Amino acid sequence: MKFHVRTLAVALMAMVFTVSGRASDNEDMPARNKFTNIGFSYSKLKQEGMPELKSDIGVNFTKGTTYFLHKPIAHRLRFGIDAVWTDINYSNYKVTYIDPQYPEYPEKTTMHEVEVGLQVGPSVNFNIHRNSELHAYFRYAPSFSGFYNGDEFQAGFGNFFVGGASVSWKCIGAGIEARFGSSKYKKYLSFGDLGYGDDDTSMDDEQDQKSTSDKVKTKFSGCRAYVTFRF
């Protein structure tokens, strides 16, 4: 699903400037350190030997905790470390293959890609108001990444990074983040290679075994918009 980053950024800024009221200057404002995010993602995929692909549908789910490193500065500002224990991201890509010999018969397929991982990194938390917070962060997100392209399943370790911000009012808010990284996929299962009783398959098996050992580097970039629940 595509969405406009600029529109979401303007919405976040509007939330900041529309909150009103303030607490006593001598009182530390409370901060909620546990969060659960649910949202939509948009990503671009570039794999060796393939054109760049843009996701058609994407969703994400993250759940984590902020560990504050000190007492609030000026009763409002806190620095901390974010630890995300669950980070799940799913995207699919609509692809059309055109055979140069038969362009009138294009083949359409859907590619599925999922990452499951963790996140850790520094963050800044600022109380705009006693009941509202601005949370900004940058995290490293190592992940298991799987890719199914219609004929085979590939998997590998992914190095990802996320950086963004959210604004919340009491226990609910909204946020946006950039996400980028890369993964090297190795083929683990090819559904086209399941046997059909042919005897002369030794050469094909040897070629398949060789191609299976090769890893395909894939680069990702994109963004995610989400609703956040803070406790």
Q: State both tokens at 221.
A: 């970039």
At residue 23 the predicted structure's pLDDT band, cuts being 50, 70 and 90, is very low
Q: How many CA atoms lie within 13 A of 35 on its CB side?
A: 33
For residue 155, give the H/E element and its range: strand 152-169
∠ at Cα 64 (58, 70), nearest 5°? 140
pLDDT tens digits for 117-166?
A: 999 999 999 999 889 999 999 999 999 999 898 788 999 999 999 999 99
pLDDT tens digits for 178-219?
A: 999 999 989 887 765 554 444 444 434 444 444 445 788 899
The predicted structure's pLDDT at residue 6? 60
Burial class (CB in 10 A: 0-12, 13-18, 19+), 200: exposed
Q: State both tokens at 26.
A: 């001598």
Residue 50 to residue 180: CA distance in whole angstroms: 18
The predicted structure's pLDDT at residue 178? 98
Contact yes or no for 228/166 (Cβ under 8 A): yes
Residue 111 to residue 228: CA distance in whole angstroms: 28
∠ at Cα 124 (118, 125), nearest 5°? 105
pLDDT at residue 26 is higher than 80: no
The predicted structure's pLDDT at residue 40? 97
Across the strands, what pairs with 208? none
The predicted structure's pLDDT at residue 115? 95
pLDDT tens digits for 34-47?
A: 999 999 999 999 98
Measure CA of the first residue to CA of the last residue in the chain; give whole Å.
29
pLDDT at residue 228 is higher than 90: yes
Contact yes or no for 126/29 (Cβ under 8 A): no
Contact yes or no for 90/70 (Cβ under 8 A): no
Q: How many CA atoms lie within 13 A of 132 on its CB side?
A: 18
pLDDT at residue 79 is higher than 90: yes
Which one has a higher pLDDT value, 3 or 112?
Answer: 112
Which residue ranges make up each domain of the chain?
5-16+37-187
